[in-house]
A = this chain, B = another copy of it.
Amino acid sequence: MAFTEFRPLDEKSLIDYIKATPSLSSKLGNKFDDLTIKEVGDGNLNFVYIVFNSSGSFVIKQALPYIRCIGESWPMTKERAYFETLALKEHGRFCPEHTPEVYHFDRTMSLLAMRYIEPPHIILRKGLIAGIEYPLLAEHISEYMANTLFFTSLLFRTTTEHKRDVAEFCGNVELCRLTEQVVFSDPYKISQYNRWTAPYLDRDAEAVREDNLLKLEVAELKSKFCERAQALIHGDLHTGSVMVTPKSTQVIDPEFAFYGPMGFDIGAFLGNLILAFFAQDGHCDQVNDRKAYKEWILKAIEETWNLFHYKFIALWDKHKNGSGEAYLPAIYDNPEVQLLVQKSYMKDLFHDSLGFGAAKMIRRIVGVAHVEDFESITDASKRATCERRALNLAKSILKERRKFEGITEVISAIRQF
- Give A residues with C-beta under 8 Å from B: 154, 159-160, 162-164, 166-168, 170-171, 173, 176-177, 180, 185, 188-190, 212-213, 215-216, 219-220, 222-223, 226-230, 325-328, 330-332, 334, 336-337, 340-341, 344
Q: Using known A-B contacts A166-B170, A226-B159, determine if residue A189 contacts B331 with beta carbons closer than 8 Å.
A: yes
Query: Do A185 and B227 touch across chains, with their CB atoms under 8 A apart?
Result: no
In chain B, what residue has the closest Cβ to A155? B223
A230 to chain B: which residues have CB within 8 Å? 227
Partner of A170, one of B167, B188, B222: B167
Partner of A344, one of B173, B177, B220: B220
Query: Do B219 and A341 touch across chains, with their CB atoms under 8 A apart?
Result: yes
Cα–Cα, bound, A348→B213 (Å): 17
In chain B, what residue has the closest Cβ to A153? B227
Cα–Cα, bound, A146→B180 (Å): 26
Cα–Cα, bound, A213→B341 (Å): 9
In chain B, what residue has the closest Cβ to A154? B226
In the assembly, how many copies of this chain are there? 2
A330 to chain B: which residues have CB within 8 Å? 185, 189-190
A359 vs chain B, min Cβ distance (A): 13
Partner of A185, one of B219, B226, B328: B328
Closest 7 CB pairs of A and B: A167-B170, A189-B330, A167-B167, A163-B173, A163-B170, A212-B337, A188-B331
Cα–Cα, bound, A227→B352 (Å): 15
A177 to chain B: which residues have CB within 8 Å? 159-160
Known: A163-B176, A164-B170. 7 other contacts (CB 8 A): A159-B176, A185-B328, A185-B331, A212-B337, A215-B332, A215-B337, A228-B228
Cα–Cα, bound, A164→B172 (Å): 10
Query: Do A227 and B154 touch across chains, with their CB atoms under 8 A apart?
Result: yes
Q: Using known A-B contacts A163-B173, A180-B159, A220-B344, determine if residue A227 contacts B228 with beta carbons closer than 8 Å.
A: yes
Query: Do B190 and A154 touch across chains, with their CB atoms under 8 A apart?
Result: no
Q: Using known A-B contacts A227-B229, A229-B229, A230-B227, determine if residue A215 contacts B173 with beta carbons closer than 8 Å.
A: no
Query: Do B164 and A173 touch across chains, with their CB atoms under 8 A apart?
Result: yes
In chain B, what residue has the closest Cβ to A223? B326
A192 vs chain B, min Cβ distance (A): 12
In chain B, what residue has the closest Cβ to A225? B159
In chain B, what residue has the closest Cβ to A160? B173
A222 to chain B: which residues have CB within 8 Å? 326
Partner of A216, one of B164, B223, B229, B341: B341
A229 to chain B: which residues have CB within 8 Å? 227-229
Q: Using known A-B contacts A154-B226, A163-B176, A166-B166, determine if residue A337 contacts B216 with beta carbons closer than 8 Å.
A: yes
Cα–Cα, bound, A176→B177 (Å): 27
Q: Using known A-B contacts A159-B177, A164-B173, determine if residue A328 contacts B189 with beta carbons closer than 8 Å.
A: yes
Query: Do A326 and B185 touch across chains, with their CB atoms under 8 A apart?
Result: no
A137 vs chain B, min Cβ distance (A): 30
* CB<8 Å pairs between A and B, sample of 11: A167-B168, A167-B171, A185-B331, A188-B331, A212-B334, A212-B337, A215-B337, A216-B344, A219-B327, A226-B326, A227-B228
In chain B, what residue has the closest Cβ to A338? B212
In chain B, what residue has the closest Cβ to A332? B215
Cα–Cα, bound, A128→B212 (Å): 45
Query: Do B190 and A341 touch across chains, with their CB atoms under 8 A apart?
Result: no
A226 to chain B: which residues have CB within 8 Å? 154, 159, 162, 325-326
Cα–Cα, bound, A251→B332 (Å): 36
Query: Do B188 and A159 touch across chains, with their CB atoms under 8 A apart?
Result: no
